[in-house]
Amino acid sequence: QVDLVESGGGLVQAGGSLTLSCTLSGRAVSVYAMGWFRLAPGQDRTFVAMMDWRDSNTYYADSVKGRFTISRNIGKDTLYLQMNSLKHEDTGVYCCAASTRDRGIRADGYGYWGAGTQVIVSS
């Protein structure tokens, strides 16, 4: 069992920054990858960024490249998402996810999900 808890969301003006955190507990040794997905009203979960837990390689959606940075604190089993130059279209609930069997960008490859943290970017 893997448990995920996100924090750090909030209301920010366009052009501003936020840092999201996701704390991992439980069977952390079984994790292959962790990622961030965005859920907006009327839309499916949208891939934002992911990190291979084995070698820390990262991958980003084209829409956030150069603006967002995914990172980890190994000792604290925590995943971060630094979001800069935020845009109105970045608005949504950001969910942290963990996979124990895949290292991809598809939401259905991730079996464990946090409840999410709300990010609102005002234009």
Q: What is the pLDDT of residues 4-44, one digit of tens each?
A: 999 999 999 999 999 999 999 887 778 899 999 999 988 89
Q: How much is the average pLDDT of 45-57?
A: 94
pLDDT of amino acid 8:
97
DSSP annotation string for 104-118: SS-GGG--EE---EE
Mean of pLDDT over the chain: 94
Residue 68 near residue 80, CB atoms below 8 Å: no
52 residue type, one letter: D
pLDDT of amino acid 27:
74
Residue 22 near residue 75, CB atoms below 8 Å: no
67 residue type, one letter: R
Residue 13 near residue 77, CB atoms below 8 Å: no
Please give the Cα distance from 30 to 99 (Å, whole number).
Answer: 8
pLDDT of amino acid 123:
87
